[in-house]
Amino acid sequence: MKVLILFAHPAFHKSKVNKILVDGLSELEGVTFHDLYEHYPEFDIDVKEEQKLLSEHDCIIFQHPIFWYSTPAILKEWQDLVLEHGWAFGSEGNALKDKLFFCALTAGGPEQAYQVEGYHNHTLNQLLAPLKQTAQLCKMIPLPPFAVHGTHAMETDEILDHKNDYFTLLKMIIDDKLDLDKVSELDYLNQYLIKEEL
């Protein structure tokens, strides 16, 4: 399975966690790392090129920090332009059919903050409903998010642990070793690894 990572971070030069997470991604076999802000600094997204990229891959990942419970601006623009009717959705829009989709997020706040009783009053999955539905409308198979919580105060070794998990998961996907039935029961993709270990 081939993986396409659409990476969006407008202030990557100030980022700590994402810098570590991203490092080495483009060298992974079977992964295409696509840095949207670097590629389209003027937001001049090349729709045909993006669609071609999508067609060539089987698993699509939005990797980004969570901004205001959503993606950074360029990923929204990307969705608006690239996911065309008749191509991505609609009766004749089957280009993305049966591809896997999930978000690989970093969030400043801890997991506890993303609860109905927590600081943000919603779970992460509730907040990501628009993205999940977007994937469903495009006939993709949405997976729960891979999330790194609490980045505002995170030590480097912690980050490296998360990176390790992320890379392990990616390799499983590439090797087609992910059990989709098991995955669908989870809140976070991170939990899949814990299950496996058990």
69: contact with other proteins by CB under 8 A: no
Q: What are phi and psi of 173, to 5 degrees?
A: -65, -45
Q: Which pair of structure tokens corresponds to residue 116?
A: 């109905």
- When binding is defined by CB under 8 A, the residue of 92, 98, 153, 176 that contacts other proteins is 153
Q: How far is the CB of 46 from other proteins (least distance, A)?
A: 15
Q: Can you tell me the distance from the alpha carbon of 198 to that of 82, in angstroms, rounded to the nearest whole number?
A: 40
157 binds other proteins (CB under 8 A): no
118 binds other proteins (CB under 8 A): no
Q: Is 59 exposed, middle or buried (0-12, 13-18, 19+ CB in 10 A)?
A: buried
Q: How far, in Å, CA of 163 to CA of 183, rounded?
A: 19
Q: Give 165-186 as a DSSP string.
A: HHHHHHHHHHTT---HHHHTT-
Binding status of residue 19 toward other proteins by CB under 8 A: no
Instruction: Measure the CA dihedral 161/109/101/18, to 10°.
Output: -50
How many residues of this chain interact with other proteins, rule: CB under 8 A? Answer: 19
Pick 10 or 93: Cβ nearer other proteins: 10
Residue 37 sits in the site that holds other proteins (CB under 8 A)? yes
Cβ proximity to other proteins, 9 vs 132, nearer residue? 9
By CB under 8 A, residue 7 contacts other proteins = no
By CB under 8 A, residue 12 contacts other proteins: yes
- Vertex 179 angle, CA 176 and 184, to 5°: 130
Q: Is 156 in the site for other proteins (CB under 8 A)?
A: no
The contact set with other proteins (CB under 8 A) reads 10-14, 37-42, 74, 108-110, 112, 150, 152-153
